[in-house]
Chains A and B, each alone.
Chain A
Amino acid sequence: GAGVSQSPSNKVTEKGKDVELRCDPISGHTALYWYRQSLGQGLEFLIYFQGNSAPDKSGLPSDRFSAERTGGSVSTLTIQRTQQEDSAVYLCASSFTGTGSYEQYFGPGTRLTVT
């Protein structure tokens, strides 16, 4: 079956512009996660959705970052007024439920470059 998809795969934007990243999780997965990964580093948790609600937004680095999920499916991560330090790969993952008992399935990521 279809895996997690993300779009765009690459995004180059100028500092100060807004960007929107999209994630299509595996059908039927109620949990959705956004992570950020800088070069050679591990994953930095950004936000977790259970259904359409986001019980934990604690990982969002600043108020320039926001995310929503509609219909319990597609999610978008929006970064306003991008800064160079926002450059990273943004990974989306979905899971059957929101517990650590289930593996997370990852999308290919969106590589964001802020110039």
Chain B
Amino acid sequence: SQQGEEDPQALSIQEGENATMNCSYKTSINNLQWYRQNSGRGLVHLILIRSNEREKHSGRLRVTLDTSKKSSSLLITASRAADTASYFCATDMDSNYQLIWGAGTKLIIKP
């Protein structure tokens, strides 16, 4: 079953603009992770946010988590061509080792 669902499915923006992607999930979680996948570097972990955290930053990335709405957002500021990739959220379910993945948001940064 699909726990995380990303929105939008695809996003195309100009280089330098900000990109926002959303993830919704269905059950309670301990942690939510965001990953990036591109042809050059494969699938790479970006950031992990715990259920008791509301916001987290890493470089140009900002992740928020709203457990009451069961949703998370990933903001990439000052986008670059190298940010072109698919972005996935992955959630664990309470007391579970397994990560459940969404279908991803395909982000295209136009030069």
Give the B-binding residues of A (Cβ under 8 A): 31, 33, 35, 41-43, 45, 48, 50, 56, 91, 93, 98-101, 103-109
Contact = CB atoms under 8 A, between A and B. Distances in A.
Interface in B35-75: 42-45, 48, 50
A101 B91 CA distance: 10
B88 A43 contact: yes
Chain B binding surface SS class: strand
B2 interface: yes
Interface of B: 2, 29-31, 33, 42-45, 48, 50, 88, 90-93, 96-104
A100 B30 CA distance: 7
Nearest to A41: B103
Given A48-B97, A103-B33, A42 B102 contact: yes
Given A100-B92, A106-B42, A42 B2 contact: yes
